[in-house]
Structure 1
């Protein structure tokens, strides 16, 4: 019997995770009373049970009984039950936005501010995050990307790291991304905007890529950036970081930054981390002919 305990912050994607596991053949039970978890695990692991994989949703809805869950986990460990903890997390600003979009009330807000409820929830769930085998930060993830990560861990048995990397191109004229962890300015490279026939293209077009990468400084920059990131990323993981946004900017976020964001993403794709590429401002300066 394999058990996955799905937990984490309200609004971070637990329902999606349970649905993915259910589709993969897991028997899923959400918000089971804490006092019944041991009994449920006992029944599921018995010879008479036909359940090979089960998933339990445990979160702040358990109320004061959540304080007992640490003892429950210790008992499950003593009984050598095979369980893993999946913790879904997201930045406070993202969680607040999601709550406002759905017009739901946070279970700990008590009619007050959502951010207050989120702070209380983080405190109550800290022990579960500390015990988690997998932490997925969904701040930058689309639903389909979250599904892919969960399938990689629990369906495909793929390698997983608690760090998810977003390589983000942007234009300085529109402001530096507020959630960027590392920011690199590539305005030192010649700008295709001023080359006849290239202005209306983007860094996703081969013509722009060829123009930018013809300069030795572009290749040298990529080599140095890759070397630094391959040094930094494992150390971020050791420090417990689970989301890294690498922002690469040029003037308008359309040509140079897009080209180099794509290139560094490709170079890092062989590492055992989730990675995706976004181009925040690629269409903002698009000219219509």
Structure 2
């Protein structure tokens, strides 16, 4: 039987930070999801998937402080999984104390570490302390303080739907506008606001960077051509290093003021250059319709 390498995402973090939303997002993009599976059962579960469920290649597990043995058991089990060749990734969700207090108050849910004589604020602080070591081990930390349920789901969907079974690294090239905020999922952020702005050219203002007119205008400037050449040259040196470190995906965010002209043109140029080197690239223009 062919030995399959299952990609396992562990979704954990502070209670009230959005784990249920994240698990639902993973389920929607085709992950086999289990919420609150006891960690000691994880190796047996993965073994069962390999032997009897050949269609399962991606698994997302929601694990939190409710399974108190988790904090005692996870480290040796995770290390054993990695030695066995599983692709393991830990996502740690968190939010500010004020945001968590507000969420628990609005839903009237009881915090898992709260009791009759424990204030909610103290329960949140206690959980944060207990999860310190796990947080430091996480591959990705997502602060959901300013994210709505829909924004968190979109972040998970955009990022993890890129992963594929055949490629060692999936790259998302993302254009955005700084006026709308830096993308939360960005690994590398580049600012191209130093380039001349087509917004101030009347015939180009209503168009976007996907059009030939805007693309030709942006790329006519020597600094644009030079930037694309030098930045992609840097990426060609960095990406093999990320692969060697076992990174499965990378989000490269390129921003201008509104995310409609310069960043779109440059993002498309960078994506094309990466594809010529054989990288699996998905291009996404976040703010192109907001201007």
Asked if these proteins are the same fold (TM beyond 0.5), I'd say yes
Is 1:187 matched with 2:194?
Answer: yes
**Pairing partner for 1:7 from 6, 10, 17:** 10
**Pairing partner for 2:161 from 148, 151, 169:** 148
Answer with 238-247 or 227-236: which moved more: 238-247
CA distance in 1, matches of 2:25, 2:181: 31
**Pairing partner for 2:268 from 262, 268, 276:** 262
**Cα gap change, 1:20 to 1:35, in 2 (>3 Å):** same
Partner of residue 61, structure 2: 57
Aligned pairs for 1:265-276 within 5 A: 265-269=271-275, 270=277, 272=279, 275-276=282-283
How many residues of Structure 1 are paired with residues of Structure 2 in the alignment?
A: 257
CA distance in 2, matches of 1:121, 1:265: 42
Q: Alignment partner of 2:260: what SS?
A: coil
Question: Over residues 211-242 of structure 1, what are the superposed CA-to-partner deviations in whole Å (9 max), with x where a residue is unaligned?
Answer: 22233432222111211232344556677887
Question: Over residues 191-228 of structure 1, what are the superposed CA-to-partner deviations in whole Å (9 max), with x where a residue is unaligned?
Answer: 43444522222222221112222334322221112112
Partner of residue 214, structure 1: 220
Aligned pairs for 1:71-82 within 5 A: 71-72=76-77
- Structure 2 portions without partners, runs of 5+: 144-151
CA distance in 2, matches of 1:146, 1:125: 22
Is 1:226 matched with 2:235?
Answer: no
Aligned pairs for 1:64-103 within 5 A: 64-66=68-70, 67-72=72-77, 83-89=86-92
Q: TM-score, normalised by structure 2?
A: 0.61
Question: Over residues 139-170 of structure 1, what are the superposed CA-to-partner deviations in whole Å (9 max), with x where a residue is unaligned?
Answer: 885454355235x2xxxx22243x76453332
8 Å CA contact 1:203, 1:256 repeated in 2: yes
Question: Over residues 16-45 of structure 1, what are the superposed CA-to-partner deviations in whole Å (9 max), with x where a residue is unaligned?
Answer: 3356556xxx6x643233455566667x38
Partner of residue 287, structure 1: none
Q: TM-score, normalised by structure 1?
A: 0.61
**Cα gap change, 1:41 to 1:200, in 2 (>3 Å):** closer
- Structure 1 portions without partners, runs of 5+: 130-134, 285-289
RMSD of aligned C-alpha atoms?
4.8
